[in-house]
Chain A
């Protein structure tokens, strides 16, 4: 019960901060969508980092290390340090400049103009929404599982510890439907209040919280296990190397081809929107340099906790998504600390959800409703449409989260990342290849979509899947997308001189 109170206080603080940011809201649609290009270096770093680090960072890294060993860090974290920063510098900054110069607030606006095709937006929009939805799902399901684990009745050798609400819910645990409503409600409240600006403020606060809580959990867990050396000594030997041993370890081919997955940040629509909030190009400097360090600060402790958990008998057979929550619950009995660490996990989740909700509303309003509209809408009407679409998507995702509650959410996330990663030839060619054309863009997106659906189906709709003994599907799809772009462009007329001079 005390843990739940701590979490409730955290959510209250978050709402207070985000509602304060409303006082800075200028009431215009431009301020709502891209914070009037006013976000400085520190807030840009925190909001971009917080957005890229989802439930995947704290919960997923621990669970994946518990299942696969130390290779988890190289597979997802150190590669991201290199590739994400490259995307921020080579894609993000350039898109920020183009967005600022021509007033774009969504990716689709840019692609429509660059590829001289209005219809292209109608192809890309549903694909981007389809790929964002699994990403939203991991947030809501991850939060629901975490809160359930913290509040459920626990059976220990010393007896039963009652759940948080034994008189109201089965096993005393807060049910997934309630957690989903609360999390979505909190995020929607601050997104509605101040749009991009509120998201940036809330993300800054939440990113600081989840980084501190991750370190706190690391310190307390290592203490409970007798120190870092003793904790590692008890851990399974198979988890300390990358050699494939049953479920543990990774093949070198998988390790190599996994480097394609971090490319996804180059095509995330919510990151595009964050990039556009930057006050100046200089705001990117801190984000590019500090991002790999921030990843290390969060991921090294989480991966170590996952390895140590293999030496804790009570955690034998724990599901991947529950390892962190169970480790905290088993080893740290102080309910205030459990509440704080859980708040940290929720912070990581919500700092991604807000940007994703916001970007979907922004895309729908600008790319579908306002695009080609003959009617003039007021800022008030535009904001209403954006918010209405966000609510519709949240309701759909919420229902899906209840239906798919038992699904391994982290495998779903990899499919989302893989789809976005495979689309990066589109943005890279648009920015750096004058010869890239509309036909190439269509071939790229259609090729990626067909291959994504094919591999997703072959995986059993969201399971782990490899090609030719270890190649991740993202790598194969990336080459399909790149091939489509190159062949389609070379077989068609070059873009007009006006378009080339506008963007190069």
Chain B
């Protein structure tokens, strides 16, 4: 499987992990002050950042920048 396929699968897994139904009625506190459901999603934000950092590293679209620089700038871009 190519890199894009793996990234898509991990993304979908993260979407599923966002629906943490197993924490729905869990009132336990982490570190004595943070409800489990909130702690889980705070960690989820960090995992999301880590995921995108890895995506940047392994699937950076180098060709996009070159393509962007290759055109001519038009002052009336809306015209066809």
Contacts and interface: CB of A to CB of B under 8 A. Distances in A.
* Binding between chains A and B: yes
Contacts of A100: 68-69, 71, 73
13 contacts: A74-B18, A79-B18, A81-B44, A85-B49, A100-B71, A241-B37, A252-B19, A252-B21, A252-B24, A289-B52, A289-B56, A292-B48, A293-B49
B19 to A, nearest CB: 6
Contacts of A307: 35
Interface in A55-109: 70-71, 73-74, 77-79, 81-82, 85-86, 89, 93-94, 96-106, 108-109
B6 interface: no
B5 interface: no
Nearest to B53: A289
B45 A366 contact: no
B3 interface: no
Contacts of A121: 78
A100 B73 CA distance: 7
A298 to B, nearest CB: 11
Contacts of A242: 23-25, 37
B15 A292 contact: no
Given A229-B33, A240-B27, A242-B25, A93 B61 contact: yes
Interface string B49-80: 10111011000110011011111111111111
A309 to B, nearest CB: 15
Contacts of A303: 38
A446 B59 CA distance: 36
Given A242-B24, A281-B65, A74 B37 contact: yes
B44 A78 contact: yes
Contacts, number: 165
A231 interface: yes
B27 A237 contact: yes
B69 A70 contact: no
A425 B46 CA distance: 28
A131 interface: no
A71 B23 CA distance: 10
A153 B61 CA distance: 57
A224 interface: no
A101 B67 contact: yes
B78 A73 contact: no
A79 B79 CA distance: 37
Interface in A366-386: 366-367, 370-371
Contacts of A106: 78
A293 B44 CA distance: 10
Contact of A112 (B26, B46, B80): B80
6 A-B pairs with least C-beta separation: A101-B71, A109-B78, A97-B68, A104-B77, A103-B74, A296-B45
Give the interface residue-count category, chain A. Answer: 35 or more
Nearest to B55: A89
Contact of B46 (A79, A116, A296): A296
B77 A295 contact: no
A288 B52 contact: yes
A370 B69 CA distance: 25
Contact of B68 (A30, A101, A232): A101
A296 B43 CA distance: 9
Contact of B42 (A79, A94, A229, A300): A300
Contacts of A285: 56, 60
Given A78-B45, A93-B64, A99-B77, 19 more contacts: A71-B37, A73-B41, A78-B18, A78-B44, A97-B67, A109-B78, A116-B80, A240-B29, A242-B24, A281-B65, A281-B68, A288-B52, A288-B55, A291-B49, A292-B45, A293-B45, A303-B38, A307-B35, A370-B78
A255 interface: yes
A94 B80 CA distance: 19
A123 B37 CA distance: 43
A303 B39 CA distance: 11
Contact of B25 (A103, A108, A112, A243): A243
B9 interface: no
A73 B52 contact: no
Nearest to B62: A281
A113 B77 contact: yes
Contacts of B64: 93-94, 97, 281
B37 A102 contact: no
